[in-house]
Structure 1
Amino acid sequence: MTAAVLAVIGFTALPQGTAVAADSADKPTVRLSKSQAGKGGSITVTGTGWRKKALLMMLICGQSAPGKGVLGGTNSCANSDGLAVTTDDKGAFSKKLAVAEPPVPCPCVVHVATVTGEKAMADAEFKVAGHPVKPLPAQQTGGKLSVLTDTRLDGSSSLLTWFGAPPSRKFVFTVGNVGSAPVKDPVFQVGTSHGVFAPQWEEQQWRGTIAPGKKAQIELPVELAAGAHGDYLVSLKFGDKVLAEKPWGVGRPWGVTLFWILLCVVVPAAVFRIGMAVVDRFRPARRSGSGSAGRHRGGRLSEVTARLPKLRLPQGALAADGAARSQSRTPSRTKPRPSAHSGADASTTSTAALPWFTPDTDPGAPPAGQLSAPSENSTPRTNTPNEKGTT
């Protein structure tokens, strides 16, 4: 009888213990190999209870404490020295992390959070040796803010945004204090996320006091990275509660695309022109004596002679020159014997001016007032008696 009762108790207690273990396994946890280390050292970070094959990011953050979160968001973490890790099939991981000093004083934690998918995070207390320590700011209690109206993003893109400048807007919202104590200089966290990535939070403080039952309109600047485009989600968080979310569609910076297209066209063209100029500068000269060179010289000579002034000759000289050329072109077998009256004709022909001389400057012409010398072919004229005879 006693054995039966113990068996029933054990049977009923087993599922309860299993359920507790499952609940503890579903919560992500982080353990460190060292609780303190200096800059340049390393620690081993071990985690359990995460989703399987989840991508995680490990950071050392200041002004933080386990259970209170990172007060300044990722701006309080050593982002450049962060490390990514992927969990195994059981949702566990173990990775060495280099110790770095965060940009704000301690208390510090090792912050582990999911990058994609469902949000999950865990912190482990850690002390960076030699890094300054500053107490956490006192948190006010009794005040509670709530968004009363729809949020909006004011502003528009400029011409510089079309060429890749960082897009910026103003996140405008109205909040009311539904608590029993005033809220002075509240600190909000504005996060921007793209696609499936987790939002990157940035801490921003609004100067003013919101009394219980009162409301106030608040404007906070939001800025993306240079060249950002696509669908973004802007989130507003106060404390641990997300107050509002607003989608933001950012156009593609087509000016950057146009610039790269022009660069790919202009630069090769300029390089080609410079190369051709260098080739023409150092190309060896062609040798003379070839047919082409002769043709070039002939062409140049014809151009020179065409530019010379044309001389006008007398009509008689042109006629005599034409007759001489016709006789030279039609050779005869026998030369006609010149007659007695051919002396004058020969003298007239010999005194004809050359094409490139005028009649006054002909070197072969006799002086004015003198007869021309008899030619060799002409017969000397003898003194003959008068045909009429003597009277």
Structure 2
Amino acid sequence: MRALAAACAWLLLASAPGPAHAGAPPGPGVSAEPASAAVGTFVRVRGSAWSPGTTVQAEVCGANAVHGSPDCDTPHAVTALVAPAGRFEAGLTVGEPPAHCPCVVRVSALPDSAGPPAAATSPLAIPGHPDGPVLRDVTPVRADIVSAELTGGGRRGELFGGAPRRTLVVRVRNAGAEPIVGAPLVARWGAGDVPDSPLEAPATGTIQPGRTATYRIQVRLPSASFGRFVVGGRFAGSVPFQAAFTTYPWGLLGANVVAALLLLIGVRISLRRRTARRRAAVQAAAGAAPPPRGRELDELIDHVRGLGRRSIDREELVAFLEERRGGPVDLAALDRYLGLDRFAVSEQER
């Protein structure tokens, strides 16, 4: 009997949980700093206890990410490689998730990475993003984007640097057998190929099976925008749509070109005037006598004609100028002038 009791006691001790279970390593963890961040800002995501060599993806999600990627802002997702110590760090841009808050930063191992499947979340408050209940059992939405096009544009103000305006018209058809009620509609715009600036989208209401609903979203860009822009988003978190347009303020560009040409012409005229003033200053510094002008020239011509000749000699010219100017004449300056002027004198026929 004693031997039987000892054997039973040994079996009980062997089947009891040992201290090794109490010390089991924790699962993968993740943290986000700061814990509250507005759309368009950055958070620092850190992870620990992940399988080394694993490639992980971090993204901002709504509804506590209970439905996976349909709740997440996948366009702004980033990837990181787990270091040998099981840690990683990445910077993540906060976008608007398609689902309501409570929001989280969700980190998951990519399916083709080296490590086993794993996921972890960290709470994140997004000021201004709507809150709502978390519905776990949600029937997947079956919807088709019939069309997504941009209307408007071509206004005169836009040609001269005004803010470009467009209207995104999205037509969605319910391809399922159940009504679609209050599905989230998220839209953004951006330069190039990445829409990263949020737009205000209307409530979607209810779409009956087989029916099509039309939604209009106003798009307004900053003043003097130019180049290619894209507007896109998702309906019900999983149905994407996108449209693109270009805008160039040709009037503003043309006005700048004309202003530049006028500036160059003004500089050229200013340089010419400055050169002329410098030339006149050099001649004045050399002491050249000013040529007869206006009434004095007419009187000189009449005087020559009155003498019945076509020219006068130097002495007669000096006497004429002294009489008209009421003072002596610089003879050296007069000689230099006679060498440049078109008047003919008896000593130097021109």
Interval containing the TM-score (normalised by the shorter chain): 0.3 to 0.5
Of structures 1 and 2, the one scoring higher in RCO (CA 8 A, sep 6+) is 2
TM-score, normalised by the number of residues in structure 2: 0.47
Larger Rg: 1
TM-score, normalised by the number of residues in structure 1: 0.43
